[in-house]
Every structure is written in structure tokens, then in C-alpha cells.
Chains A and B, each alone.
Chain A
Amino acid sequence: MNKREGEGWSRRNVEAAQEHDVHANPSSPVVAAFKVFQQELDTKHDKYERLVKISRDVTIESKRTIFLLHRVTNVPDVEAVLNEAEGKLDAVRQKIGLIAEELRGEDIYQFHRAFTPGIQEYVEAVSFLHYIRHRSLISLEEINARLVFMRTENGDPKGSAEAPPLGAHVLTFQVTPADYLLGVADLTGELMRLCIGSVGNGDIDTPFQLSQFLRQIHDGFSYIGNTGPYEVSKKLHTLRQSLGKVEDACYTLRVRGSEIPKHMLADVFSSRTTHMDTEEGVV
């Protein structure tokens, strides 16, 4: 009884409120102004959401490429793996092309937060592949040079066939120095895993190359120090840990390598890394 009464009340209230809104609606300049704001905000939020979605796809595909690349340590045909990774990254670049398209005519920093995770992951993947191929650090220019997209005006599909070069335009995407830096910081984690993985396979040269490369990157980050964005200083800590693990690995190889037959090294190593992992858990 009471409850029903309550319901009736609230319904009447809602109706009254709606009536109030309707009354306020048509004539008021305030409401007219807010209708314009509504549209503008909705357009902006929609674009943001679309970018988040593309960025998420870029992240997932880049992660998969990285997993694929980790397989090079125990696969006979390295080149096949690298080519497959290159193909995957081509697909990722197409997605980044979609981001560039969304950002056409916009201030890219307005939407930067929407796509920065994806771009960082892409930098990580593409620099990982580059390292495995060339044993060097990919430059920001090299990354940006591959993010140039030819687009034909796709206003109507019939027209595009008739006038190919005239309607075509070039779209570019520029990775920011900060995103590049953060991607490279993530790369060091992958290099550490690659190092441990290659030791497990009895590869003795790679760990030493890797430790040298990681040390150079570490020195680079120390040089930048706290002039970089805030996230960089956070990642520097993880970078130190990765470097420590790789240096320990090289140490073990040097000390024990001369004593233990090559085929047994893997066992020595795996016991050592698990020991290190538990240590990390305690700290």
C-alpha cells in the first residue's frame, strides 16, 4: 500500500520533471546553446573511443608479434619467423594508418592519451624485430618513415577508380619522442627475456651482445635522467633490473662456461634464473 503510493509519487515527480524540461526546452537560449555543446562533446568523445579501440588492436597485434619473435631462439629457420613478424607489423601499420586518418586536421595531442599505449607497444615490437635483424637500435626517423600512408579519396568508390593520382593524398603519423622512449624502455624487458631464452638454448654469443646493447641503452636513459616524461623515470627502475639479470647471466657464462660442458649449461642456467625470480618475489 505504502509502496504503491510511493511509486505513484515518484512517477508523478518524473513526469513533472519531464514536463518542466519540455517547458524549458524550445524557447530558452540556454537550452539551445547546450544542444550545440552536446553535439560537440559527443563528436569528440566518439572520436576518442574509436581511437582507443584502434589502439587496443594495435597493442594486441604488437604483443603477438613480440611473442612470435621470441620463438627465433629455438627455431631452425629464423628468416621465416622474421618475415612472418614483418607481415604482422604491416597489418599493425595499416591500423596506425586508421589512427592517422582519425587525426587528420586534429590536434594530435588532444587525443594522445587514447592511442599512446598502442603506439608504445608498436615501437617495442618494431624495434625488437630491428634488433634481431640488425643488432642495432632503430631510430625514431626510421620508425616514422614507415608510417606514411597513401590514401585515395574514398568519398565514393566509383570515383576512386577514375582519378587515381589526383585524389590521392599522403597521410603521415609521427611517433612522439616520448612514446619512442617509452617503447624502447619496454624493449629492454624483451631483450632480457631473449637473453635468458638464448642461454637456455646453449647460445653463448647472444647474451654478451645483448648485455652490451642493454648497457648502452641504460647509459642513454641515465643521460636523459629526469628531463624526460614522468613515466620514463619509473621505467628506469625496471630497466636496471633487466640489465642486472643479463649481466648476471653473462657472469655465470664466463665463470662456469669454462668448467661445464656446453650441453649442461642450460640446466645450470635454468636453476639460476628461478633462484633469481624467487629473490625478486621477496623484495
Chain B
Amino acid sequence: MSEMSVTEMFSYIQGFLSADQDVREDIRKVVQNLEQTAREILTVLQSVHQPSGFKEIPSKCAKARELFCTVRSQLSELKTKFPVEQYYRFHEHWRFVLQRLAFLAAFAVYLESENLVTREEVAQILGIEVVREKGFHLDIEDFLAGVLIMASELSRLAVNSVTAGDYSRPLRISNFINELDSGFRLLNLKNDPLRKRYDGLKYDVKKIEEVVYDLSIRGLAKESESGGN
């Protein structure tokens, strides 16, 4: 290649930059649709906080599962917008929505089975991969962030289930969150956004403990236990 003039060099670079911008524009459009679907799922799942919602948990989860079909097709559209090995080049565009979706999947699975969702399950619900080498994947930090969002949603659920007269649920949530907390304590987090979010977990734990305390001193926790048996 012969010598390039300064002007040629800059227009060459400019070509790169505008191609990059086009890709980002495409990604942004798809991500907007994803955000819309994520909000719809959130609306469906949030109705479990309503007093009447506690009986409808299975049907709400089924509805959410249906909406995840839309998410899968939107995510497969997103995959076509950029070369797969450049995932992290554009990561920032879908990071937020993917965390929300991980939260929604984890929340739905918790409501169904009261278990912590695995990364594989979330990936399967969203129709994506777990490991980077296989394609569009769920970054581990995004998965963990989603789980942490779920923790604060569960502390809210504990409060509302008491209001709705379900006294045994907070105890189960408490056990679950404590387990989650000891899980997170195994991680060596850097001073990053995930760490910041993890620092909020202790307030969720505290809040649920307070709920459990309130129930215990009034004998409500025991009552529901014997009632359950």
C-alpha cells in the first residue's frame, strides 16, 4: 500500500466510524422493542403484589412465559445486527434491558418453584447462550445483577404478602434471601456497578427479617405453620 495522505487517512477512519454508528442505530431500535416487552412482562408479574394477585400467581407466570416468546424472537433479531465476536463492543446498548429480563425470568421462576433460577434456565428462557464461545450470551455480571433486582422485589413481596394475609410466605422468602446472601458473600466483587448493587442486598435482607420478626412476636408465623400442616 502506498503512502496515504492525511486527508485520505481521515476519510478512511471516518468510514469506520459511520459504519459503526449505523450498527449502533440498528441495535438501538431492536433494544427499544425489547424494553417495551420487558415492561409488559413486569406489569404482568407486578400484579402479584395485589391482594388478589396471590391466588393468581400460576396464571400470571404462564402469561409471562408467553411474553418471553416475544423476547426470544426480538433477541434473535438483535443477534443479526452485529458480528457475534463483537458482543462486548456494543454490550452497553443491551446491558440494562438484559439485566431486567434476567430479573423477570428469575422472578417468574421463583414464583413458580421458589427456587433460585440457574444461569442456564435464564439463558433458555431468553433463547440465548450461557458461554460466550457459542454466540450471543448472558454475561455473568448481568445475570447476577438480575438476581439482585429480584431480591429487592422479593422484600417488597414479603411485605405485601403479610398485608394480603399470607403469613407463611415471608418466612420462605427469608430463608431464600439468606441463602442468596451467603452465596453473594462467596464472590470477590470489584468496585464496580455489580458491587454497588450487591451493597443494597443487606437492606433487603434486613427488611425481610423485620417482617419475620413482626410476625414471630405476634405468634403469626407459628400459627400459619401449624395451619399449613
Q: Which residue of A lies closest to B183 (CB)?
A: A34
Across-interface contacts of B178 in A (CB, < 8 A): 24
Residues A227 and B183 in contact, CB atoms below 8 Å apart: no
Residues A227 and B17 in contact, CB atoms below 8 Å apart: yes
Query: Once the chains are docked, how many angstroms separate the CA of A219 from the CA of B3?
Result: 19
Query: Once the chains are docked, how many angstroms separate the CA of A221 from the CA of B185?
Result: 48
Is the contact region of chain A dominated by helix, strand, or loop, or is it mixed? Answer: helix
A155 within 8 A of B: no
* Residues in B4-42 with C-beta less than 8 Å from chain A: 4-7, 9-14, 16-18, 21
A228 within 8 A of B: yes
Binding site for A on B (CB under 8 A): 1, 3-7, 9-14, 16-18, 21, 85-89, 91, 115-116, 118-119, 132-133, 140-141, 144, 178-180, 182-190
Binding site for B on A (CB under 8 A): 20-21, 24-25, 28-31, 33-35, 37-38, 40-42, 44-45, 105, 107, 109-110, 112, 136-137, 139-141, 177-178, 180-181, 213, 216-217, 219-221, 223-224, 227-228
Query: Once the chains are docked, how many angstroms separate the CA of A41 from the CA of B18?
Result: 34
Residues B7 and A24 in contact, CB atoms below 8 Å apart: no
Q: Which residue of A lies closest to B139 (CB)?
A: A110
Residues A38 and B187 in contact, CB atoms below 8 Å apart: yes
Residues A139 and B88 in contact, CB atoms below 8 Å apart: no
Residues B179 and A219 in contact, CB atoms below 8 Å apart: no
Total contacts A-B at CB 8 Å: 110
Task: Point out the residue from B5, B11, B183 that lies within 8 Å of A31, measured CB to CB.
Answer: B183
A-B pairs, top 6 by smallest CB distance, nearest first, are A220-B10, A34-B183, A109-B88, A110-B88, A109-B89, A216-B6
The verdict on A223 contacting B189 (CB below 8 Å), with A30-B116, A107-B87 known, is no
Extra inter-chain contacts (8) besides given A21-B182, A31-B182, A41-B189, CB under 8 Å: A20-B182, A31-B179, A109-B91, A139-B1, A139-B9, A177-B16, A227-B18, A227-B21
Across-interface contacts of B3 in A (CB, < 8 A): 136
The listed residue with most A CB atoms (<10 A of its CB), out of B17, B118, B178, is B17
The listed residue with most A CB atoms (<10 A of its CB), out of B88, B116, B133, B144, is B88
Residues B9 and A220 in contact, CB atoms below 8 Å apart: yes
Query: Once the chains are docked, how many angstroms separate the CA of A115 from the CA of B184?
Result: 29
The verdict on A219 contacting B7 (CB below 8 Å), with A21-B185, A28-B179 known, is yes
Task: Point out the residue from B12, B87, B180 that lies within 8 Å of A30, measured CB to CB.
Answer: B180
Min CB distance, B205 to chain A, in Å? 12
Query: Once the chains are docked, how many angstroms separate the CA of A33 from the CA of B5?
Result: 56
Residues B187 and A140 in contact, CB atoms below 8 Å apart: no
